[in-house]
Structure formats: C-alpha cells, structure tokens
C-alpha cells in the first residue's frame, strides 16, 4: 500500500491542524490515500500502551507520519513495524521533546514540569498557552492560535495529562536509527516548542536521511503553508517510491 499515508496529530489539538495538509496532498496526487488518525486515549501515560493501540488499529504497509507528538509516535511505530512500514515523515517532531542525556536541543525539564503542573490545575488555560506557543513564528500568531484552539476537541483532562507523560517519556533516537526505510524530517526555525538546533542534531545522528529546516516558520508551519509542505512530502514520496 505505497499509495497510503497515515498522519498522526500532535498533543491536545486534535486532527484539524492536519486537515489542510491532507487536502493539499490529495490535490497533488489523486492516487494517494491520505488518512488522519486521532491519537489513542488509553487510560495510561505508558508509551508502549499507546503504540500497542496504534499498531492494532492502523493498516500495515503504509507510510507513517505525524506532527509533533504524532511524529514521535509514528517514528516508534515505524521501527516496531520495520519492513511493514513503507517510510516515515515527521513535522516539527523532536526525537526527545524534553532535554535528556546527549540531547540538549529540547524543552528544559523545569519548563515542562511547569507545563505539566499547569495542565493538572487548569487544562483549558494550559491548552490556550500551548496554542500560542504553536503559533509563535507564524506570520499571524494570534489568529493561528485562535484557529488551533477553535479546532481542538473536548479531551478529558486525564487524557491530556497522559499525553504529556507520553511526550516526556518518548525517546525515538534508537527507533530512528533502527528503521531502515526512507525518512523525511521537517523542522521550523522559529519553533517555540522544538528548538531549531534539533534539525542539525538529528542530521548528525542520521546523516543518510532527509532533514529540512524551514527558517521563517513556527511549530504549526503546516498551517501556514500546507501546499508548500505537501509539495515537499510528495517529492519525498515520489523519490522514495518504487518508481
């Protein structure tokens, strides 16, 4: 099913941020089946349980991709599936969202802890703050933040907290090194959540994969230029495909 692409969304904001990109991709290639799958909601913040649910529900032998947390989950699932995954693409997705050993280009631990505490105390205010960070670097950040928040689903507070726990625990460096299929990773130069240096760090870790940095863009760059991002993805799929 090299004509099938599954996209996974980021934390808290649902599938709507990916819809313009999916539409642009379908417009470029009528034979490409693009599907956006919501993130699972297991009653746990254990990444393996999330991956088990995704592995059970998503079709085999498709391209896997995702934005932010969705890209991290797609990376881990691609490594788990190996040859049963056609290839991988991630958008504004850091192999480690929070700083860890050997990966400084990520969110500081104390900043993330404050974010987690805020989500426990007031999920809606935290989601609003998150949408503003996603929109940082956009040509019209306030408008984009409102758009992101307006499209967000009504997620239970416990599910939001579980998602943050998964975000903090996932480290996809080994998964990315283990996965032998084609990979494309796109980052943003003005990202308020994933430092731009993550792009060069990833290229140093994986010199044989495609890594791109969109300089004048923020975390939600897929909303600012869905057609440009779709063009880059379509070129990657074409170059990596059987033809």
Could you give the domains of the chain? 4-240 (3.40.50.1820)
Confidence of residue 201 (pLDDT cuts 50, 70, 90): very high
Confidence of residue 155 (pLDDT cuts 50, 70, 90): very high
Which of 171, 219, 224, 240 is an active site residue? 219
The tens digit of pLDDT for each residue in 104-142 reads 999 999 999 999 999 999 999 999 999 999 999 999 999
* Best CA proximity match to 9, nearest among 187, 178, 148, 200: 148
Model pTM score = 0.97
Which of 68, 93, 131, 240 is an active site residue? 68
Q: What share of the chain has pLDDT > 70, as a percent?
A: 99
* List of residues 6+ apart from 128 with CB closer than 8 A: 145, 149
Instruction: Report yes or no: 217 and 225 within 8 Å, Cβ to Cβ.
Output: yes
Mean pLDDT along residues 22-45: 95
Instruction: Please give the full DSSP string across 84-151, using - where no structure is assigned.
Output: GEEEEEEES--SBSB-BTTB-SSB-HHHHHHHHHHHHH-HHHHHHHHHHHHHTTSSSHHHHHHHHHHT
For residue 161, the cross-strand partners are none
pLDDT for residue 241 = 73
> How many CB atoms are located within 10 Å of the residue 80 CB?
17
pLDDT for residue 240 = 87
User: What are the C-alpha distances in Å from 150 to residues 14, 88, 132?
Assistant: 10, 29, 12
Which of 191, 201, 224, 240 is an active site residue? 191
Catalytic site includes residue 191: yes
Burial 143-168 (b: 16+ CB within 10 A, else e): ebbebbbeebeebeeebbbbbbbbbb
CA distance 233 to 198: 20
Catalytic site includes residue 31: no
| Phi, psi values for residue 84, rounded to 5° | -85, 5
Catalytic site includes residue 68: yes
Sign for the pseudo-dihedral over CA of 158, 160, 161, 165: positive
* 3-class state of residue 169 by DSSP: helix
């Amino acid at each position: 099913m090299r004509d099938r692409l599954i996209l996974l969304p980021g934390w808290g904001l649902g599938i709507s941020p990916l819809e313009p990109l999916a539409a642009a991709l379908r417009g470029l290639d009528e034979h490409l089946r693009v599907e956006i799958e919501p993130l699972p909601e297991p009653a746990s913040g254990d990444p393996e349980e999330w991956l088990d649910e995704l592995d059970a529900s998503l079709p085999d032998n498709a391209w896997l991709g995702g934005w932010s947390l969705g890209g991290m989950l797609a990376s881990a699932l691609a490594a788990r599936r190996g040859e049963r995954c056609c290839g991988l693409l991630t958008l504004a997705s850091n192999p480690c969202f929070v700083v860890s050993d050997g990966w400084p280009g990520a969110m500081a631990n104390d900043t993330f802890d404050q974010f987690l505490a805020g989500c426990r105390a007031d999920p809606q205010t935290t989601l609003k703050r998150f949408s503003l960070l996603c929109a940082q670097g956009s040509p019209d950040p306030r408008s984009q933040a409102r758009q992101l928040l307006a499209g967000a689903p009504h997620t239970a507070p416990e599910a939001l907290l579980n998602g943050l726990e998964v975000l903090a625990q996932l480290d996809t460096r080994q998964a990315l090194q283990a996965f032998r299929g084609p990979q494309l990773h796109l980052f943003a130069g003005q990202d308020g959540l994933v430092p731009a240096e993550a792009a060069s760090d990833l290229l140093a870790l994986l010199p044989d994969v495609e890594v791109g940095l969109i300089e004048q863009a923020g975390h939600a760059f897929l909303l600012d230029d869905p057609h440009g991002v779709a063009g880059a993805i379509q070129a990657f799929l074409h170059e990596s495909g059987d033809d």
